[in-house]
């Protein structure tokens, strides 16, 4: 999909999880489409690389180093984004972790994923929401794992299922305030977080076999969907989760 460089002109967007993978791809795509962005992530070097790529588009970019699993980070990140951009129109919650493991592997697998995938975006959204009213939007990066089950992914699936219901409930809560709330739910997408899995040719062959469109997703597939949701073209859409999964959930 191709967007004009002015499609998001005037948008001031905070993107979490922007130091790599889907978050980084979304940040650069938003900048390319004309948005000013504040990007948050834990790894300073990788976040700087995202910032450099975004600045090459001519966009205003604010870098914020933060571990959003630390409760006090949410308010600080939002405050720094507001200060650096002079306001906020949009929040994109892209930070998250993926740790597949059987349910008997220990509570640590659940606690870590709840902290990064549910608690952190909940706190950032709570800190940002009043600054998005009226006319703003929130976009969560969910997963096909929040729509269908996968063996060995009970903890991860539980966190993404929570995000799916958070989107619907918060959309109803914020509709009177003019704030839209949506999610994009990726399927199998090639990112640094799962590179170790795709290093096995048999794993990739199996995943392609499960995907009706016959390929693994790329970060750009998700970034394009994010640009659409952030844009005014999605002004009549709220409470929706868009599967970008090559048809996986339809099977």
- Between CA 55 and CA 37 the distance in angstroms is 10
Active site residue 156: yes
How far CA 168 is from CA of 21, 182, 237, 247, in Å, comes to 26, 8, 12, 22
Residues near 191 by beta carbon (within 8 Å), at least 6 away in sequence = 20, 21, 22, 219
Contacting residues for 90 by C-beta, under 8 A, at least 6 apart: 11, 12, 13, 14, 35, 132, 136, 137, 138, 139, 230
Question: Are residues 94 and 23 in contact, defined by beta-carbon separation less than 8 angstroms?
Answer: yes
CA distance 102 to 114: 16
Q: Which residue has the tokens 């129109």?
A: 89
Identify the active-site residue in 98, 156, 228, 229.
156
Q: How far apart are CA 89 and CA 54, in angstroms?
A: 18
| Cβ–Cβ < 8 Å for 242, 18 | no
Q: Is the dihedral of CA 87, 91, 97, 102 positive or negative?
A: positive
Q: Among all residues, which ones are annotated catalytic?
A: 156
């Amino acid at each position: 999909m191709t967007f004009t460089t002015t499609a998001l002109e005037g948008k001031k967007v905070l993107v979490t999880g922007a130091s790599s993978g889907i978050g980084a791809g979304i940040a650069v795509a938003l900048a390319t489409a004309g948005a000013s962005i504040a990007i948050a992530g834990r790894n300073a070097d990788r976040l700087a690389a995202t910032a450099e790529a975004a600045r090459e588009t001519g966009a205003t970019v604010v870098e914020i180093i933060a571990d959003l699993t630390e409760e006090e980070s949410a308010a600080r990140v939002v405050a720094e984004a507001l200060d650096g951009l002079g306001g906020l129109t949009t929040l994109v919650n892209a930070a998250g972790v993926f740790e597949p493991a059987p349910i008997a592997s220990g509570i640590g697998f659940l606690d870590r994923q709840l902290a990064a995938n549910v608690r952190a975006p909940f706190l950032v959204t709570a800190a940002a929401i009043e600054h998005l009213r009226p006319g703003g939007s929130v976009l969560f990066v969910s997963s096909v794992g929040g729509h269908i089950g996968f063996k060995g992914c009970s903890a991860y699936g539980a966190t993404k299922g929570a995000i799916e219901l958070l989107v619907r409930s918060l959309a109803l809560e914020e509709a009177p305030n003019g704030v839209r709330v949506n999610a994009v739910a990726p399927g199998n997408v090639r990112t640094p977080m799962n590179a170790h899995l795709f290093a096995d040719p048999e794993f990739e062959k199996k995943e392609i076999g499960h995907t009706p469109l016959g390929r693994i997703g790329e970060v750009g597939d998700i970034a394009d969907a994010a640009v659409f949701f952030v844009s005014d073209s999605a002004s009549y859409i709220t409470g929706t989760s868009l599967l970008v999964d090559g048809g996986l959930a339809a099977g």
